[in-house]
Amino acid sequence: MEYAVLDKLSNYTISSILSALYVLKKKFHIGGIFADTDILGSYWPIISAKRYIGRALLASTLSSDLAICKSLLIFITFSVRSQDIRNTVGNIPMEWYKDYPHIGYDLEGKKIFKPIRNKDELDEFLDKMENPDYWRTVQDKMTGADIRLSDEQVDLVHRLQQGKFGDVNFNEYEPAIDFFSNEVMIHPVTNRPQDKRSFIPSLIEKEKVGKLVHAIKMGWIKPHRPKETTPQYYDLWAKEDPNSILGRHKMHIPAPKMKLPGHEESYNPPPEYLMSEEERLAWEQQDPEYRKLSFLPQKLACLRAVPAYSRFIHERFERCLDLYLCPRQRKMRVNVNPEDLIPKLPKPKDLQPFPTTQSLVYRGHSSLVRSISISPSGQWLVSGSDDCTVRFWEVSTARCLKTVEVGGAVKGVAWNPNLSICLVAVSYDDTVVLLNPGLGDRLVCTATDQLISSYEEPEEVKDQPVQWAVAEGEGHEQGHRLILKHPKAVRQVTWHGKGDYLACVIPDNGSSLQVVIHQVSKRRTQNPFRKNKGLVQCVSFHPIRPYFFVATQRYVRVYNLIKQELTKKLMANCKWISSMAIHPGGDNVICGSYDCRLAWFDLDLSTKPYKVLRQHKKALRSVAYHRHYPLFVSGSDDGNVIVCHGMVYNDLLQNPLIVPVKVLKGHTITHDLGVLDVTFHPTQPWVFSSGADGTVRLFT
Amino acid sequence: MGGLQKKKYESGSVTNYVSRNKARKKLSLSLADFRRLCILKGIYPHEPKHKKKVNKGSTAPRTFYLLKDIRFLLHEPIVGKFREYKIFVRKLRKAYGKAEWSGVQRMKENKPAYKLDHIIKERYPTFIDAVRDVDDALSMSFLFSTFARTGKCHVQTIQLCRRLSVEWMNYIIASRSLRKVFLSIKGIYYQAEVLGQTITWIIPYQFAHDHPTDVDYRVMATFTELYTTLLGFVNFRLYQTLNLVYPPKLDGQGEFSLKSECEEDYALESESYSEKLSALSASLARTVPLVEDEEAELDLFPAEGVRYKMVCCSFFIFLFILFFLRSEGTNSIMCCTLCRCFGGQVSWDKSLCIGSTYDETDETITHHIVDRPTIDKQYINRYYIQPQWVYDCVNGKILLPVEEYFLGVTLPPHLSPFVEESEGDYVPPEKLKLQALQRGEKPQAEDDDEEEEEDDDDDDEDDQSEDEDEANLAEMEEKRAQGKSLSVKVTPGKVKPENRMRAEQEEKAEEKRLAIMMMKKKEKYLYDKIMFGKKRHVREANKLAAKRKAHDDSNKADKKKKKKKC
Tens digit of pLDDT for each residue in B44-62?
Answer: 999 998 888 898 888 899 9
Helix, strand, coil shares, percent, chain B, to 5: 55, 10, 35
**Cβ neighbours of residue A232 closer than 8 Å, sequence gap 6 or more:** B232
> For the CA atoms of chain B, what is the radius of gyration?
34
A225: number of Cβ within 10 Å: 11
**Cβ neighbours of residue B208 closer than 8 Å, sequence gap 6 or more:** A308, B148
Q: By C-alpha distance, which of A495, A365, A511, A363 is closest to A432?
A: A495
Contact A313 B143 (CB under 8 A): yes
| Nearest residue, CB atoms, B388 vs list A303, A310, A663 | A303
B15 has a pLDDT exceeding 80: yes
How far apart, in Å, do the first and last CA atoms of chain B sit? 104
Residue B303: inside a domain: no
B451 has a pLDDT exceeding 50: no
B495 has a pLDDT exceeding 90: no
Q: Is the ipTM of this complex over 0.85?
A: no
Q: Model confidence at B517, in pLDDT bands (50, 70, 90)?
A: confident
Distance from CA of B471 to the nearest CA of A (A): 40
For chain A, say whether B417 makes contact (Cβ under 8 Å). Answer: no
B296 has a pLDDT exceeding 80: no
Residues in chain A: 700
Q: What pLDDT score does B397 carry?
A: 83
Tens digit of pLDDT for each residue in B354-367?
Answer: 666 677 777 777 78
Q: Which residue of A lies nearest to B38 if distances are taken between CA atoms? A: A324
Bridge partners (DSSP) listed for residue A363? A695
Q: What pLDDT score does A688 carry?
A: 93
Residues of B with Cβ-Cβ distance to A335 under 8 angstroms? none
Q: By C-alpha distance, which of B132, B246, B244 is closest to A234?
A: B246
Distance CA A382, CA A398 (A): 11
A475: number of Cβ within 10 Å: 18
State the DSSP code for A547: E
For chain A, say whether B535 makes contact (Cβ under 8 Å). Answer: no
Q: What is the CATH classification number for the domain harbouring B349?
A: 3.40.50.10190
B350 has a pLDDT exceeding 80: no
B317 has a pLDDT exceeding 70: no
Dihedrals phi, psi of A43, to nearest 5 degrees = -70, 125
Query: Could you give the C-alpha distances from B14 to A122, A374, B34, B43, B52, in angstroms and in order?
Result: 101, 68, 22, 19, 10
Identify the domain boundary among B80, B110, B140. B110
Residues of A with Cβ-Cβ distance to B64 under 8 angstroms? 327
* Buried-exposed string B395-407: b where 16+ CB fall within 10 A, e elsewhere: bbbbebeeebbeb
pLDDT < 50: residue spans in chain A: 1-15, 28-48, 64, 75, 77-84
Asked if B228 and B136 count as a contact pair (C-beta separation under 8 A), the reply is: no
CATH superfamily of the domain spanning A348-455+463-699: YVTN repeat-like/Quinoprotein amine dehydrogenase (2.130.10.10)
Same domain, B45 and B137: no
Q: Mark residue A90 as left, alpha or beta (left: phi above 0; alpha: psi -120 to 50; beta: remaining).
A: left
Identify the domain boundary among B78, B110, B142. B110
With H, G, I as helix, E, B as strand and everything else as coil, classify residue A312.
helix
Residue B61: inside a domain: yes
| Nearest residue, CB atoms, A263 vs list B136, B416, B547 | B416
> For the CA atoms of chain A, what is the radius of gyration?
61
Contact B411 A268 (CB under 8 A): yes
For chain A, say whether B343 makes contact (Cβ under 8 Å). Answer: no
Distance from CA of A354 to the nearest CA of B (A): 15
State the DSSP code for A655: P
Same domain, B105 and B138: no
Asked if B511 and A659 count as a contact pair (C-beta separation under 8 A), the reply is: no
Tens digit of pLDDT for each residue in B468-491?
Answer: 556 666 666 666 566 555 567 777
Contact A265 B416 (CB under 8 A): yes
For chain A, say whether B508 makes contact (Cβ under 8 Å). Answer: no
Residue B495: inside a domain: no
With H, G, I as helix, E, B as strand and everything else as coil, classify residue B99.
coil
User: What is the pLDDT averaged over residues B436-459?
Assistant: 56
User: What is the pLDDT averaged over residues B496-519?
Assistant: 87
Distance CA A393, CA A23 (A): 146
Same domain, B276 and B363: no
Q: Mark residue A479 as left, alpha or beta (left: phi above 0; alpha: psi -120 to 50; beta: remaining).
A: left
Query: Could you give the C-alpha distances from B35 to A319, B31, B66, B67, in angstroms and in order?
Result: 15, 6, 15, 16
Same domain, B73 and B147: no
Residues of B with Cβ-Cβ distance to A276 under 8 angstroms? 547
For chain A, say whether B236 makes contact (Cβ under 8 Å). Answer: yes
Considering only residues B398 and B158, tell me which one the structure prediction assigns the higher pLDDT. Answer: B158
Q: By C-alpha distance, which of A7, A5, A147, A131 is closest to A76?
A: A5
Identify the domain boundary among B387, B413, B439. B413
Distance CA A90, CA A409 (A): 117
Task: Count CA atoms within 13 Å of residue B325 on its CB side.
Answer: 32
Orientation angle between helical segments B20-27 and B67-74, nearest 10 degrees: 20
Same domain, B340 and B276: no
Same domain, B330 and B405: yes
Contact B413 A266 (CB under 8 A): yes
Q: How many domains does chain B have?
A: 4
Q: By C-alpha distance, which of B154, B271, B307 is closest to B224?
A: B154
With H, G, I as helix, E, B as strand and everything else as coil, classify residue A644.
strand
Q: By C-alpha distance, which of B224, B230, B219 is closest to B35?
A: B219
Same domain, B48 and B174: no
Residue B324: inside a domain: yes
Asked if B260 and B272 count as a contact pair (C-beta separation under 8 A), the reply is: no
Same domain, B225 and B129: yes
B411: number of Cβ within 10 Å: 20
Dihedrals phi, psi of B403, to nearest 5 degrees = -60, -35
Contact B39 A221 (CB under 8 A): no
Same domain, B156 and B218: yes
Tens digit of pLDDT for each residue in B365-380?
Answer: 778 777 777 777 777 8
Distance CA A415, CA B463 (A): 67
Contact B511 A663 (CB under 8 A): no
Q: Which domain holds residue B528?
A: 517-564
Residue B1: inside a domain: no
Residues of A with Cβ-Cβ distance to B182 under 8 angstroms? 261, 265-266
Distance CA A477, CA A479 (A): 5
Contact A328 B46 (CB under 8 A): yes
Tens digit of pLDDT for each residue in A585-638?
Answer: 888 999 999 999 999 999 888 889 998 988 899 999 999 999 988 999 999 999
| Nearest residue, CB atoms, B530 vs list A221, A234, A338 | A338
Contact A297 B548 (CB under 8 A): no
Q: Which helix (H) or strand (E) element contains residue B381?
A: none
Residues 293-322 of B with CB under 8 A from A: none
Distance CA A266, CA B419 (A): 12
Q: What pLDDT score does B408 carry?
A: 82
